[in-house]
A and B are shown apart, each in its own frame.
Chain A
C-alpha cells in the first residue's frame, strides 16, 4: 500500500525576511533588501509542518529582492545545499577548499556539500530579482571533504522529458546521498512515468509552474506531494509550460519524521 501527503501552496511556511536590525547580519542588502521564502518543510520559525522527507530538511522557493540582497557569509557543516536558479542571477561564494565565486543564471544550478565545513554567501548583485529553489539534505556521511559542482539545464532542448539534474545519471551532478533531482518542463496533455529505484525510495513532486495530475491528486502552482511505497508514479500535464521538480530519495528511518506523522495521523 502506498503512502502519500499533499502540501498545498498556502500550507507552506511563507516568510518575508528584511535586512534590518539583528537580521541585517544574516540577510544582505541593508537597508531595503528582503528575501521572501516559501518552505515546504519545517524550518526555523516555521514549526507547524512536516519536518522533512527522507534526508531532505529544506525545500523552499526564495526570491532575493533588490540589488545586493541575499545571505551574508555564514558557516555550514555537513548539509548538502542545492540551488536551482529560475530568474535573475545568483552569485554564490564559498570558502570551502580553495574558495569559489560563481554566477548562476536561469537554468543553472549547483550542489554544495559543506562537509567538514565552509562559509558561503548567496547574493543577487544585478537589478532584477533572483528566483531560486533551495534544497538542503543530510549527507550519507559526516565531515566529508567539501565539494562544489554546477551545471546548466537547457530548457529549450530538453522539453517534454524528465531530465535528471542531480544524481547518479551520466551528465547529472554527483551528490553524497542516495537522492536524485529531476526536472520536467512539458506541454498540456502529455503524460510521463517516473520509476523509483526501489520501494525503499520515495518521491517528492513540486509543481513550480502550471498544473499536473500525479496519481489521483491534482497539483496547482507550487503545490507538492510526497509518495512512497510505490514502484512508479505517473505525471499528467494539465496546463502548458508546466515546470515540475521531482526529488527521489531513499526513505531514511527517521524518528523525528515518524513522531510527527504519529502526532498528525488522520490529518
Chain B
C-alpha cells in the first residue's frame, strides 16, 4: 500500500464525507481505498452529486467524528 497520507473529501452537494482511511464498507468500499481508485461514475450515496464535485478538505474531526463518519 502507498505511504501517501489518506485524503478526506467532502460532497459539495450535501457535506457527506469520504475518508480514504475509513472507506465506506456499507457501500462496498474497503477501508484504505484511494479516491483515485473509485470509479468516475460513482456518485454521493446521500445526494447523487457526481464524484468530480467532491472537494478535498483538510479539516479535523470533532471528538468521536471518525466513528460517526464511518456510519454516516
| Contact surface of A with B, Cβ cutoff 8 Å | 43-44, 51, 57, 74-79, 114-117, 138-145, 253, 255-256
* Most chain A CB neighbours (cut-off 10 Å) among B13, B57, B62, B64: B62
When the two chains form their complex, are residues A74 and B59 in contact, meaning their CB atoms are under 8 A apart? no
Q: How far is the CB of B48 from chain A (nearest CB, A)?
A: 10
Q: How far is the CB of B62 from chain A (nearest CB, A)?
A: 4
Q: Is B10 part of the binding interface, using a Cβ–Cβ cutoff of 8 Å?
A: yes
Q: How far is the CB of A114 from chain B (nearest CB, A)?
A: 6
* Additional pairs, 17, CB under 8 Å, beyond known A57-B12, A143-B61, A256-B56: A43-B12, A75-B47, A77-B14, A77-B17, A77-B46, A78-B10, A117-B72, A140-B59, A141-B60, A141-B61, A141-B65, A142-B61, A142-B65, A143-B64, A143-B65, A144-B62, A145-B62
Q: Is B1 part of the binding interface, using a Cβ–Cβ cutoff of 8 Å?
A: no
When the two chains form their complex, are residues B72 and A116 in contact, meaning their CB atoms are under 8 A apart? yes
Q: How far is the CB of A128 from chain B (nearest CB, A)?
A: 29
Contact A78 to B47, CB < 8 A, known contacts A116-B72, A142-B60, A143-B69:
no
Residue pairs across A and B with CB atoms within 8 Å: the count is 65
When the two chains form their complex, are residues B14 and A75 in contact, meaning their CB atoms are under 8 A apart? yes
Q: What is the interface size of chain B, counting residues whose CB is below 8 A from a CB of the partner? A: 24
22 of the cross-chain contacts (CB-CB < 8 Å) are A43-B12, A51-B55, A74-B14, A74-B47, A75-B47, A76-B14, A77-B72, A78-B17, A114-B15, A115-B62, A116-B65, A116-B68, A116-B72, A117-B68, A138-B10, A138-B59, A141-B61, A142-B17, A142-B69, A143-B61, A143-B68, A144-B65
Q: Is B16 part of the binding interface, using a Cβ–Cβ cutoff of 8 Å?
A: yes
Q: Tell me, in angstroms, the Cα distance from A74 to B44 when the chains sit together.
A: 13
When the two chains form their complex, are residues B15 and A78 in contact, meaning their CB atoms are under 8 A apart? yes
| Contact surface of B with A, Cβ cutoff 8 Å | 8, 10, 12-17, 46-47, 55-62, 64-66, 68-69, 72
What residues of chain B lie closer than 8 Å to A138, measured between beta carbons?
Answer: 10, 57, 59
What residues of chain A lie closer than 8 Å to B62, measured between beta carbons?
Answer: 115-116, 141-145
Q: Tell me, in angstroms, the Cα distance from A253 to B58 when the chains sit together.
A: 9
Q: How far is the CB of A169 from chain B (nearest CB, A)?
A: 24
What residues of chain B lie closer than 8 Å to A140, measured between beta carbons?
Answer: 59
Q: Tell me, in angstroms, the Cα distance from A139 to B58 when the chains sit together.
A: 11
Q: How far is the CB of A7 from chain B (nearest CB, A)?
A: 18
- The list of the 9 closest CB pairs from A to B, nearest first, reads A143-B65, A78-B15, A79-B15, A77-B15, A143-B68, A141-B62, A144-B62, A116-B68, A76-B15
When the two chains form their complex, are residues A79 and B61 in contact, meaning their CB atoms are under 8 A apart? no
Contact A256 to B55, CB < 8 A, known contacts A57-B12, A114-B15, A116-B68:
yes
What residues of chain A lie closer than 8 Å to B8, measured between beta carbons?
Answer: 142
